[in-house]
Amino acid sequence: MRLVRYGETGAEKPGMMDGDTLRDLSGVIDDITGATLDDATLARLRDLDPASLPAVSGKPRLGPCVGAIGKFLCIGLNYSDHAAETGAEIPKHPILFFKANSAIVGANDTVMMPRGSTHTDWEVELGVVIGKTAKYVSKENALDHVAGYCVVNDVSERHFQTQLTGQWTKGKSCDTFGPTGPWLVTRDEVPDPQKLGMWLDVNGKRMQTGNTATMIFTVAEIIEHLSHLFTLHPGDVITTGTPPGVGMGMKPDPVYLKVGDVMTLGIDGLGEQRQEVGQDA
């Protein structure tokens, strides 16, 4: 299934994609959140006849594909070729940082560069949405705790991230720096999350091309590692790193976003995003 949340910011309704038709789920569930991502609820939704659900007219805004996200967890330097382009050593354990939930926006919402930003960068990433509480799980059963997968653009302000004393969170958490969606694809439709092609363009020029096969730590290994540090709850989202081609890694000189630029990005089977770049007031 492809589950969506549509409508104005803060007033999104739950929906389901039926081919190219958006169907309204608000008569069945209140929202798509951790409370509705358990296996039983997803099975109930899967048994619905999509044609029995009201079709949504027009082309409404698509909000973040998960509402009321609990923790927004991010894994850094998780692609061997991306680590190489940044000159970083291959990490021995998953590098973890947090992205503020206030950064989360819809897949096609405007990305706003913060005041004083000159180093805003792009990162296409596979997002993993937890559907069942995970604590001390093994990598062998870790994927059983996943509700589904989505596209995330881990937008980053590199000066804030690396030059303002502190953790990476400073450069990752600016408002609008977490486009998530367009939809949540349930795990039954993603048989192997380590075989997904991914890409990102800026102004129509291909910047990133990669595949989740080159992850240093697999999705299952990441869930195992994190669940031994703290409990993962339904509705938590984990972004799992980016392939090479980010602006800071361009040679001979880095390339960063400017107002008016357009990012388009996608992952096989998980949909596409499009964001224009604006300037925060």
The strand pair at 72-76 and 237-239 is best described as: parallel
- 86 closest CA partner among 222, 197, 248: 248
pLDDT digits (tens, 9 = 90+) for 161-212: 888 887 888 999 999 999 999 999 999 999 999 999 999 999 999 999 999 9
Separation of alpha carbons 246 and 85, rounded Å: 9
Residue 66 domain-assigned (yes or no): no
Regarding whether 148 and 25 lie in a shared domain, the answer is no
- Beta-carbon contacts of residue 246 (< 8 Å; ≥ 6 apart): 82, 85, 86, 121, 122, 123, 156, 207, 208
| pLDDT beyond 90 at 239 | yes
Task: Give the mean pLDDT of 120-129.
Answer: 98
Give the Cβ contact number of residue 52 at 10 Å.
Answer: 9
Q: Are residues 15 and 48 in the same domain?
A: yes
Inside any domain, residue 272: yes
Residue 76 CA to residue 138 CA, distance in Å, equals: 21
Shared domain check, 84 and 201: yes
Eight-class DSSP state of 125: E
Contact residues for 51 (Cβ-Cβ < 8 A; gap 6+): 18
The answer to whether residue 90 scores a pLDDT higher than 90 is no
Which residue segment(s) compose the domain that 6 sits in?
2-52
- The CATH number that applies at residue 159 is 3.90.850.10
pLDDT at 157 over 90: yes
Mean local confidence (pLDDT), 130-138: 98
Tokens of 8: 């104005």
Asked if residues 110 and 275 have their Cβ atoms less than 8 Å apart, the reply is yes
Domain match, 122 and 215 both: yes
Full-model pTM: 0.96
pLDDT, residue 84, reads 75
Token output for 197: 């092609």
Cβ neighbours, 10 Å, residue 214: 15
Backbone angles phi, psi at 163, to 5 degrees: -110, -15
Residues 20 and 92 reside in one and the same domain: no
Q: How far apart are CA 200 and CA 151, in angstroms?
A: 11
Class of residue 188 by CB neighbours under 10 A (exposed 0-12, middle 13-18, buried 19+): exposed
Q: How far apart are CA 171 and CA 175, in angstroms?
A: 11
Burial of 143-168, coded b for 16+ CB within 10 Å and e otherwise, reads bebbbbbbbbbbbbbbbbbeeeeeeb
Containing 270, the helix (H) or strand (E) segment is: none
Provide the token pair at 22.
């958006």
What's the domain count of the chain? 2
* Same domain? 47 vs 156: no
Percent of the chain with pLDDT over 70: 100
Residue 165 vs residue 142, higher pLDDT: 142
